[in-house]
Chain A
Amino acid sequence: NAGVTQTPKFQVLKTGQSMTLQCAQDMNHNSMYWYRQDPGMGLRLIYYSASEGTTDKGEVPNGYNVSRLNKREFSLRLESAAPSQTSVYFCASSEPGMSYEQYFGPGTRLTVT
């Protein structure tokens, strides 16, 4: 049982480049989330998907897009990377109504130069 997996683990981009972060979960959870974590800021929600077929903006959505491909997969796209997007990105999943515990993937460390 892998839980939540993310790819890639590390990435370096130049300003203006694009990339997609992949996330998959095998726990049959309905809800999935993308967070970024910066020093002194805590985890901030970028986008979430309450269920397959729906996505909603979180606290810091600018510069990102998401796709809920199916119940298992939720991807995050940076169309034109900026140095301010240098961060650690975590994907998470949960089953709302059941303690709200979120299960996190191992994270992607992204550097934009």
Chain B
Amino acid sequence: RKEVEQDPGPFNVPEGATVAFNCTYSNSASQSFFWYRQDCRKEPKLLMSVYSSGNEDGRFTAQLNRASQYISLLIRDSKLSDSATYLCVVNWGYQKVTFGIGTKLQVIP
């Protein structure tokens, strides 16, 4: 089983839709979790950290379920500019970080 698993998509959604991505991780000792965004042919950039209590940043909500070992990202009111690949990132020790393969989102007019 891969350490971090994501559905690569693509997820094609209309503007204004709500879309959710999940990411599962295998190491129960994982300590911190992140969502990164990567635009086509660009470098990854941090979108948001994921806290145990869940956290929200505008239209984006991230949640962590330690019991089932997954994190999720919810995007409300999708914009064309949200089209990108979303990388799930798990930190499981000092200098131990694993990136998922990413989920591609395409928002359609």
Interface residues, chain A, with chain B CB atoms under 8 Å away: 31, 35, 40-45, 48, 50, 56, 90, 96, 99-102, 104-107
Contacts of B95 in A (CB 8 A): 31, 48, 50, 56, 96
Interface positions of B from 34 to 54, Cβ below 8 Å from A: 34, 42-46, 49
A24: min CB distance to chain B, Å: 15
- Report chain A residues within 8 Å CB of B100: 42
Contact (A102, B102) CB under 8 Å given A40-B8, A42-B87, A43-B44? no
Contacts of B42 in A (CB 8 A): 106-107
Question: Given contacts A100-B32, A101-B34, is CB(A43)–CB(B45) below 8 Å?
Answer: no
Q: A106 — which chain B residues lie within 8 A by C-beta?
A: 42-43
Contact of B34 among A40, A43, A45, A100 (CB under 8 A): A100
* 20 A–B pairs (Cβ distance < 8 Å), ordered by A: A42-B99, A42-B101, A42-B102, A43-B44, A43-B99, A44-B99, A45-B97, A48-B95, A56-B95, A90-B43, A90-B44, A96-B95, A100-B91, A101-B34, A102-B44, A102-B97, A104-B45, A106-B42, A106-B43, A107-B43
For the complex, give the distance between the alpha carbons of A41 and B42 in Å: 16
Q: Which of A44, A104, A106 has the most chain B CB atoms inside 10 A of its CB?
A: A104
Give 18 A-B pairs besides A41-B101, A102-B44 with Cβ atoms closer than 8 angstroms.
Answer: A31-B95, A35-B99, A40-B101, A42-B102, A43-B44, A43-B99, A96-B95, A100-B32, A100-B91, A100-B97, A101-B46, A102-B46, A102-B97, A104-B44, A104-B45, A106-B42, A106-B43, A107-B42
